[in-house]
Structure 1
Amino acid sequence: MTDPFVAHRSLLFTVAYEMLGSAADAEDVVQDTWLRWAGLDTSARAEVRDPRAFLVRIVTRQSLNRMRTVSRRREDYVGQWLPEPLLTSPDVADDVELAESVSFAMLTVLETLAPTERAVFVLREVFEAPYDEIAEAVDKSPAAVRQIAHRARTRVAERRPRATVDRGQQEAVVQQFMAALSGGDLQALMDVLAPDVVAVGDGGGLAPAAKRPIVGADRVARLLMAFSRQQAAYTMSPTWLNGAPAARVDLDGAAAGVVSVVVEDGRITRLYAVANPHKLGRLGEEAALTR
């Protein structure tokens, strides 16, 4: 018989990652959860009626504790903070709700929520946990959790991208984007960017990146074209990140950055570029994400 922790490990990692936006922190939370589970004796485990709910509750509490720590750490972060990118298989996109929940766009929206709001939103909207289970996990009453869930849904709805596109269209736009950059074609790049496009870069003070979001097709295009002039040193290739088509940038065979985009009406409306080397270490192995 498979140990419940082993059976639900991918789920536990996904829950923690969506709450924290960091694979490294999520792995630490999952490890702490394992230690707590392994520390139960046989009789204690036998009393657990729903191991999945029990383990999710531990992960949630550990994630909330970690959120308070990382929030202080991010106050000192240099420049814009973006989630740690995960290499995923195209199959993740088959579960549309899961793919959206781990997208850069959604994770950056979730960063605007208070820790408990984020936990409640993730557990309810993504994993469809009952209110009473969530209440136990966040140490609130079911009535309070319902109110928190409503407030979080409203805030997320105000900030999330309005349109969704199929993977074929997003792949085509990413290909256009990469071709324009590689060819140094300013007009082709302008054609693929929405007039009010917003570009956010995360270098963490360790790699070049704008410290504030860049707004407008002209400004974003000129910034990207400055990068394209260095294409002799860099190579760009398509990849799948966080459940969506994206671009990977390599230097001397090693990852130097990734670019994830939001596409609406055939154009890029938001562009997320991560160059912080501390966030690029997991691009060699696909992350197992599940609901």
Structure 2
Amino acid sequence: MVARGGESLVGEFSALRGHLLSVVYRLTGSVADAEDAVQEAWLRLSTLPATRREEIRDLRAWATTVVSRIALDRLRSATARRESYIGEWLPEPIVTPLGAPAADDPLDAVVRDDGVRMAAMVVLDTLTPQQRVAFVLHDVFDVPFSEIADLLGCTPAAARQHSSRGRRAVAEADPPPRADPAEQRAVLDEFVTALTNGDLSALTELLHPEVSLTGDSDGKGRTARRVMTGADTLVRFVAGLLRRYRPGFLDTARPVLVNGDVGLHLPAEPGGDGYRALDEHVQAVVVRHGRIVALYDVVNPDKLTHVPR
């Protein structure tokens, strides 16, 4: 057993921060929940009597279990909140600079993982809390089923079944893999150019015939209330937007990374002269074979509190 205290304890726990944030974010889809859970785990660890801390043989395993319990409570609460949520529900986006060197922020390390891209996180949101916890903890972080069973309050066999069902649902959904960054950036540039010029023909060429647009606002901003599917449908929708917002409203849009993939951040802009005010948006763009296959538009201000501006 190794005595833990002072700077040694701080350093050992800090080294786990990126891992723990990744665990909770995958389980809840919330940056705020991830940061809160990691902070709570630190408080529990730092206030343990020295003798109890020395009994922890594997700090990574101990901390993973603690944040997973917290995440499970948050996940169940979020599932209940969705019953009264207005419109579609999307994960809270992790927005990082495009083209900047890797920062020391642990979230920058989290988004490098292919499994937290927005398309993959949306699939995780379709699972039950039990399936999500069992699948993520076992398949991604190699947590034994015996520990997952203790966490879920079920048998190891039931935990294994939850994981299997989650794995099957993810496989059947087949979320698009992360495209090459250069390809993503080229498509994003063409997308912005087409929108800026109002070139609906060029826009149509960029969109996959079965492209989808999912908006998230909870009634606190303007976006699509329901999932929109099909290139023609989206082009008509965009044409309407171009008429309703002030000319040049895209001039302040900046390319960013959203969960590690290219996207756009549109700051809020005032309206006037018959034009609507523009809400703040974070849009994730999913590219496959040179075309946009999905757009995720987060407008709910409660999910944009961590956006660097």
TM-score (normalised: structure 2): 0.84
Query: For structure 1, which segment, 225-234 or 14-23, has the greater mean C-alpha deviation from structure 2 after superposition?
Result: 225-234
What is the SS of the residue equivalent to 1:281? coil
2:169 to 137, 155, 159: 155
Work out whether residues 18 and 109 of structure 2, in 8 Å CA contact, stay in contact via their aligned partners in 1.
no
For residues 108 and 203 of structure 1, do their structure 2 counterparts lie closer, same or farther at Cα, with a shift above 3 Å needed? Answer: same
* Structure 1 stretches of 4+ moved >6 Å: 94-97
Deviation of 1:125 (Å): 2.6
What is the SS of the residue equivalent to 2:267? strand
The residue number in structure 2 matching 1:40 is 48
The residue number in structure 2 matching 1:167 is 181
| Greater radius of gyration (CA) | 2
Deviation of 1:180 (Å): 0.9
Work out whether residues 197 and 269 of structure 1, in 8 Å CA contact, stay in contact via their aligned partners in 2.
yes
Distance 1:39 1:256 in 2: 40
The residue number in structure 2 matching 1:86 is 94
Q: Which runs of 5+ in 1 are unaligned?
A: 286-291
Greater relative contact order (Cα 8 A, min sep 6): structure 1 or 2?
A: 1
Is 1:105 matched up with 2:83?
no
For residues 163 and 12 of structure 1, do their structure 2 counterparts lie closer, same or farther at Cα, with a shift above 3 Å needed? Answer: closer
- Residue by residue over 1:52-90, the C-alpha shift from the partner in whole angstroms, topping out at 9 and shown as x without a partner, is 100000111111111111111111111111111112356
For residues 255 and 195 of structure 1, do their structure 2 counterparts lie closer, same or farther at Cα, with a shift above 3 Å needed? Answer: same
Distance 2:178 2:259 in 1: 15
Work out whether residues 96 and 308 of structure 2, in 8 Å CA contact, stay in contact via their aligned partners in 1.
no
2:196 to 179, 182, 188: 182
TM-align CA RMSD: 2.6
- Residue by residue over 1:99-122, the C-alpha shift from the partner in whole angstroms, topping out at 9 and shown as x without a partner, is 322111111111111112111221
Query: For structure 1, which segment, 174-183 or 137-146, has the greater mean C-alpha deviation from structure 2 after superposition?
Result: 137-146
- Match runs of 1:193-272 below 5 Å: 193-229=207-243, 230=245, 231-234=247-250, 235-252=252-269, 256-272=280-296
TM-score (normalised: structure 1): 0.88
What is the SS of the residue equivalent to 1:251? coil
Distance 1:284 1:56 in 2: 28
The residue number in structure 1 matching 2:273 is none
Query: For structure 1, which segment, 43-52 or 247-256, has the greater mean C-alpha deviation from structure 2 after superposition?
Result: 247-256
The residue number in structure 1 matching 2:82 is 74
% identity of equivalent residues: 40
Which amino acid letter does the alignment assign opposite residue 77 of structure 1?
Y
Work out whether residues 95 and 259 of structure 2, in 8 Å CA contact, stay in contact via their aligned partners in 1.
yes
Q: Which runs of 5+ in 2 are unaligned?
A: 1-7, 271-277
